[in-house]
Amino acid sequence: IQFTPDLLPADVVGTLIYSQKDESFHVKKGPVFANFVLADEINRAPAKVQSALLEAMQEHQVTIGEQTFALPKPFLVMATQNPIEQEGTYQLPEAQVDRFMLKVVIGYPTLEEEKQIIRENIKGEHKNVLPVTTAEEIMKARAVVEDVYIDEKIEQYIADIVFASRYPEKYGLAEIKDMITFGGSPRASISLAKAARAYAFIKHRGYVVPEDVRAVVHDVMRHRIGLSYEAEASNVTSEDIVSKIINKVEVP
């Protein structure tokens, strides 16, 4: 979905269409009814459109009129945000940003990748895309990830990281207290545990180790920490704060 300033919530989730033939309203489902939804340049659309995704992302369902529809499984929302242009954009509400499990920063390609991009475009060839998995296999993999063991000490480690973003002075980080306006929410703790489990699964392990948490903590936390004016004036980023927290919080 290309998010633009003239987009409406109904363009995303769907709407009720009146049929003169049988004098009744029929539901016309929107493009959000898919396994993978890509919201391109999500901050270009107004807050009302962005909030249309809230129910879909959290409850995996959509309410149109008086009817509620379950979304297909698996369901995943990916969004891009242009970091350069700020004019004519709408900042995402914290409640919606919090619903994104990860925020991944994508920089420029490497020199070799850039040359490959040029080469592929000049050739003008389109490779056939072959499926590598099915929706059923993804759901099975999710069930296996849920069986990955998290020890109580790892749970404590995750909770300490999130609490250190809320109350840094209690963890010997008084110098960053004035840099933070708000820390990670309970969703941050849940997402950190889920992401650590998934990372352990990718590494072919049936249990989570502290390195799994540290591997995903920046992607999980970078969009969940509010920066004060003092932090922005000092060019301190949320990543700097997360790095200080994981360097200070005791590893089990």
**What are the DSSP calls for 49-93, one per residue?**
HHHTTHHHHHHSEEEETTEEEEPPSS-EEEE---SS--TT--PPP
Q: For residue 35, name the pLDDT band (cuts at 50, 70, 90).
A: very high
Structure tokens at 208: 């989570």
pLDDT score for 112: 95
- The pTM of the full predicted model, rounded to 2 decimals, is 0.83
| Domains of the chain, CATH where assigned | 1-100 (3.40.50.300), 127-252 (1.10.8.80)
Our CA angle for 249, 162, 175, nearest 5°, is 60
Closest of 52, 62, 48 to residue 6, by C-alpha: 48
Q: How many CB atoms lie within 10 A of CB 67?
A: 10
Q: Is the pLDDT of residue 85 over 70?
A: no
Helix (H) or strand (E) holding 25: strand 24-29
DSSP three-state, residue 228:
coil
Tell the burial category of 10 from Cβ atoms under 10 Å away from its Cβ (0-12, 13-18, 19+).
middle
Residue 237 to residue 196: CA distance in whole angstroms = 23
Place of tokens 């489902």: 29
pLDDT score for 84: 67
Question: What's the rounded mean pLDDT across residues 170-183?
Answer: 88
